[in-house]
A = this chain, B = another copy of it.
Amino acid sequence: MVIIMKPSATKEAREKIIKKMESLGCQVHVSQGESYCIVGLVGDTRKINPSQIEANVHVDRLIHVHHPFKLAGRLFHPEDTIVEVGGHKIGGGTPVIIAGPCAVESEEQLMTIAQAVKKEGAHFLRGGAFKPRTSPYSFQGLGEEGLKLLKKAKEATGMPIVTEVMCQETFDIVAKYTDILQIGARNMQNFPLLKKAGKSNVPILLKRGLSATIEELLMAAEYIMSEGNSQVILCERGIRTYETYTRNTLDLSAIPVIKELSHLPIIVDPSHATGKWSMVEPLSKASIAVGADGLMIEVHHQPELAASDGAQSLKPEKFARLMESVRKISSVC
C-alpha cells in the first residue's frame, strides 16, 4: 500500500500514522516531498483496515498495490484453470458453445431447439426456468417444470445443461437438475447467493454485472472461491453505457484484460450484449478472435412467438452459419 498524506498534514499526524502502521506489523518507507508525503507500506499489510486510513483527515489518498483478489488472480496461480463438464473442457483452448432458448416455454419448443443446436455442434444447452424480469407482469419462467424439461432435453441430446439460479431458496432444486449453474448479471453482487454457490460443488457461470468493473467481477468470483468452489467460469455480457443503439456495450477488451489478471476461463454472451440478432454473428466472431473460451447464444426456431428476447434470438439456420464462422476463426487463432 501507499499512503499519500495531504500537504496540510502536520509532522505529528504523519508520525502518528507511521507508528500505527508499524504497530500493525508493516515496514514503512517515507518519501517527503515539498507538498506531499508518500508513505510506502510493505510486509504484512493484512491487519490494516483501509477504511480507517482513508478516514484520517490528514490522508489524501490510499493506493492499493496488490489486487484485492487472491484466489481468482493469476499472481499466485499462473496456469489457466480448465473447468471440465460432461466431457467438455472450458478454458482448454477450444471454444465451447452454449446455445438454446432464452426461456424454456414448452417441451416441444425446447426439444426442437435442443435438437437443432445439437445438430450444428453446440456443446451445452441453455434455457431459463427461473427468469429475472424487469417487470413483475412479464413471463417469469416455468420454474421446476422448466428444469424437468431441461433434464429431458439432456437425456434426448446428451448435452449438459446451463440454467440460471436466482436465489438461495431455489438453489438446491436448480442445482439438482443442472450441470452448470448460471448466476445472472443482476445477481453478481448478491453476496449471500455467491457464498451459497461457493459451498456447492456445481460449476458456476458468473455473469458480469451491468455496471461492474472487471475488478468487481473478479471479486465476485473470489467470494465463490473463498468458500471452496474453484470451478468458476466468467461471462462478459455487455456493460451499461450511454449508447442506446445496442442494449448494452459489449466490452471485448475485458477478455484480454481478464486473461492477464486471472486464470479463470471467460466466455461471451453476444445475444444479451446487443439485444439484436443481426449483431450476434459478427460479435461472436470477434469474441473468438479476441480469445474468449466460448460463447453463449440464444436460439429460437420461432423468434416471433418467443415468450422473451425474441429480437436477439437466432433462427437455427442463422445459428448454423454462426457455427461455421466461429470454426473458421477458431482454426486460425
Asked if A307 and B243 make an inter-chain contact with CB atoms under 8 angstroms apart, the answer reads: no
Task: For the complex formed, measure the closest distance between the CB of A263 and the CB atoms of chain B, giving whole angstroms.
Answer: 15
Residue A24 at the chain B interface, CB threshold 8 Å: no
Task: Indicate if A310 sits at the interface (CB-CB under 8 A).
Answer: yes
Q: Does A200 contact B (CB under 8 A)?
A: no
Interface string of A47-68 (1 = CB under 8 A from B): 0010110111000000101101
Interface residues of A in 58-98 (CB under 8 A from B): 63, 65-66, 68, 75
A56 to B31, CA, bound (A): 22
Decide: A42 and B38 in contact? CB cutoff 8 A.
Answer: yes
- Known A38-B42, A310-B51: A282·B291 in contact at CB below 8 Å: yes
Cβ-based interface call for A290 (8 A) = yes
- Name the prevailing secondary structure of the A interface residues: mixed
Tell me the number of copies of this protein: 4
A109-117, A149-157, A190-198: which one contacts chain B?
A190-198
Size of A's binding interface in residues, CB under 8 A: 105
Most buried by B among A33, A136, A186: A136
Q: Which residues of B contact A241 (CB under 8 A)?
A: 239, 241-242, 249, 251
Give A residues with C-beta under 8 Å from B: 2, 4, 7, 27, 29-36, 38, 40-43, 49, 51-52, 54-56, 63, 65-66, 68, 75, 132-137, 139, 166-170, 186-187, 189-193, 195, 210-211, 213-216, 219, 222-223, 226-227, 239-246, 249-257, 260, 273-274, 278-279, 282-283, 285-291, 303-311, 313, 328-329, 331-333
